[in-house]
Amino acid sequence: MAAPDPRITPARPDLAASHLRGKVEAARFADGTVQEVVVGQAPVRNAPSHGATMVTEALCGERVTIYETDEEGWAWGQLASDGYVGWLPAAALLAPGSEPTHKVAALRSLMFPGPSIKLPPAEALPLGARIAVARMHESFAVTATGGHVPMRHLAPVATKEPDFVEVAERFLGAPYLWGGKTSLGLDCSGLVQVALNTCGIACPRDSDMQEAALGKSVSLAGLQHGDLIFWKGHVAIARGRNSMIHANAFHMAVAIEPVAESLARIGAAGSQVTSVRRLAGN
């Protein structure tokens, strides 16, 4: 039997989730408490330290099951959206409020403390962040806590974008950031996950998980719009037969480039395409 993937298994030698009792060994088990991310975006790190690697980000409105909060203000838990496990700043979390009704449909929006764009913003909200709208006031959606978000930047949570490639293209030029999921910085698999989620398609966090879970294998020679091209540790999105978009450390940004040029450059670095995956309906 394969060992549980630690990225999506809330288990450490000293602590594990109660539902894993009998499946993993741990000094103690905990039921966990559901919390909600109440800031625009919160880093999820692989250790309880500001200097630790950020493995992903949790966006506003996301639910997280927390199993431990330490004395330094770090909370260890599992994200509800994709199951990722890590350490978040406890200050970014509160008990869940009302279920989100809307999500940010713009690349980034601002939350103001009142009904005026002249007020200093209280929070920046990335694409995909979720909020519960309590009422409307002129052109603003007002949250239960009094935050005012431009209604033009929001869509009902059930809204699905029709083309995830077009969503990915909105991030063109955004800086490359390991573990990132917003226009302030994102990595290759973060770009794929955010784009697919915006279209209502569930997607794992990391590229190897995506390769194993998404779509069906097709030939590179028959590449078409929306196909996912995988290398070991990397993923790109085909825009068609001849071009692709990906967040990558070569450009240190989200970039569009010819497929042939990218294949040659990555191949010269010693990495070959491992598969091409086509999503259902693509």
pLDDT of residue 165: 98
Taking the C-alpha atoms of residue 140 and residue 151, their distance in angstroms, rounded to an integer, is: 5
Taking the C-alpha atoms of residue 3 and residue 97, their distance in angstroms, rounded to an integer, is: 36
pLDDT of residue 144: 87
pLDDT of residue 3: 82
pLDDT of residue 1: 59
Q: Up-side HSE of residue 34: CA atoms within 13 Å toward CB?
A: 8
pLDDT of residue 2: 72
DSSP assignment of the chain equals -PPPPTTS--B-SS-EEGGGBTTB--S-EE--EEEEE-SSEEEEESSSSTTSPEEEEEETT-EEEEEEE-TTSEEEEEETTT--EEEEEGGGEES--SPP-EEE-SSEEEEBSSS-TTSPPSEEEETT-EE-EEEEETTEEEETT--EEEGGGEEETT---S-HHHHHHTTTTPBB-TT-EETTEE-HHHHHHHHHHHTT----SSHHHHHHHSSEEE-GGG--TT-EEEETTEEEEESSSSEEEEEETTTTEEEEEEHHHHHHHHHHTT----EEEE-TT-
Taking the C-alpha atoms of residue 153 and residue 140, their distance in angstroms, rounded to an integer, is: 10
Helical (H) or strand (E) element with 58: strand 54-59
Smallest CA-to-CA distance from 258 within 278, 277, 279, 236 is with: 236
Please state whether beta strands 275-278 and 243-248 pair in parallel, antiparallel, or not at all (unpaired).
unpaired
CB atoms within 10 A of CB 265: 13
pLDDT (tens, 9 = 90+) of the chain, 282 residues, equals: 578 999 999 999 999 999 999 999 999 999 999 999 999 999 999 999 999 999 999 999 999 999 999 999 999 999 999 999 999 999 999 999 999 999 999 999 999 999 999 999 999 999 999 999 999 999 999 998 899 999 999 999 999 999 999 999 999 999 999 999 999 999 999 999 999 999 999 999 999 999 999 999 999 999 999 999 999 999 999 999 999 999 999 999 999 999 999 999 999 999 999 999 999 877
